[in-house]
Amino acid sequence: MIRVLIADDHPMVRKGLAQMVAETDDLESAGEAENYASVSRILRQQKVDVLLLDVDMPGKNGLDILKAVHLSHPKLQVLMFSMYPEEQYAVRALKAGAAGYLTKNTAPQKVLEAIRNAARGRKYVSPELAQTLALRVSEDLTGGRLAHETLSDREFQTLRFIAGGKKLAEIAAAMSLSPKTVSVYRARLLEKMKLRNNAELTRYAILNQLVE
């Protein structure tokens, strides 16, 4: 039996996934978590084979949780499950050690397939993501990476918040950081991407489909 921990900040999403798991013969729920603290508590208390983890979690976001979990539970398989399209976070998640990346419009049978693959220690990628990964390898070999791909995860998160119209204080609260630290991330990402201001950053993000 594959034990699945579901981590998402939306109760309805958690309940829907938990019901799907409960109705599947070879899967069972290991619990539901709404933030990093509850993920950590459940992982300490019981056996979990696969963590189904939302990218957009409160406080410590999904990518940060993924990295923390890999340090404390290196054998745990983590599938990222997100509302964001693959081009926004999938490559970053896989580089950080995720067993796969699923969007929330993925068909239930594909979600179950991904969970089973992860439990066997295999990666799960959609055909579209496989093509993206192949292109990224080619770009890396030729030095053709896009500007935003040079950013750290925190810088990338800051970019998306700014492009989404969030104010400095709102970004700081969402990332559990001080406004001064967010300002440092903003300055770094503008320098790396050779952009001058938030307007140019927002235009870049829209053109490259980095915001909804």
pLDDT in tens, 46-85: 999 999 999 988 888 899 999 999 999 999 999 999 887 7
- Do strands 2-7 and 50-54 pair parallel, antiparallel, or not at all (unpaired)? parallel
- CA–CA dist 91, 183 (Å, integer): 25
Total-model pTM: 0.72
pLDDT grade, residue 137 (50/70/90)? low
Rounded to 10°, the helix 168-175/153-163 angle is: 140
Which of these, 72, 75, 92, 76, lies nearest to 84 by C-alpha position?
A: 92
pLDDT for residue 138 is more than 60: no
Average pLDDT, the chain: 88
CA–CA distances in Å: residue 50 to residues 57, 118, 136, 157: 18, 7, 27, 25
Domain 2-134: give its CATH code: 3.40.50.2300
Write out the DSSP string of 11-29.
HHHHHHHHHHHHTSTTEEE
Q: What is the pLDDT of residue 140?
A: 52
The model's pLDDT over 111-127, given as tens digits with 9 standing for 90+, comes to 999 999 999 999 888 76
Q: What is the pLDDT of residue 141?
A: 44
Least confidently predicted of 98-102, 132-136, 144-148, 176-180? 132-136
Maximum distance among all Cα pairs of the chain, rounded to whole angstroms = 55
Domain with CATH 1.10.10.10 in the chain: 147-207
Strands (E), 83-171: 100-103
CA–CA distances in Å: residue 120 to residues 2, 49, 69, 71, 165: 10, 9, 18, 20, 41
pLDDT grade, residue 132 (50/70/90)? low
pLDDT for residue 109 is more than 90: yes
Q: Which residue has the tokens 């081009």?
A: 87
**147-207 CATH pick, 3.40.1210.10, 1.10.10.10, 3.40.640.10, 3.30.2350.10:** 1.10.10.10
Burial class (CB in 10 A: 0-12, 13-18, 19+), 91: middle
Start-to-end C-alpha separation, the chain? 38
pLDDT for residue 143 is more than 90: no
Region 10-24: mean pLDDT is 93
Within its chain, how far is the Cα of 44 from the centroid?
22
Domain with CATH 3.40.50.2300 in the chain: 2-134
pLDDT for residue 139 is more than 60: no
Q: What percent of the chain is modeled with pLDDT above 90?
A: 58
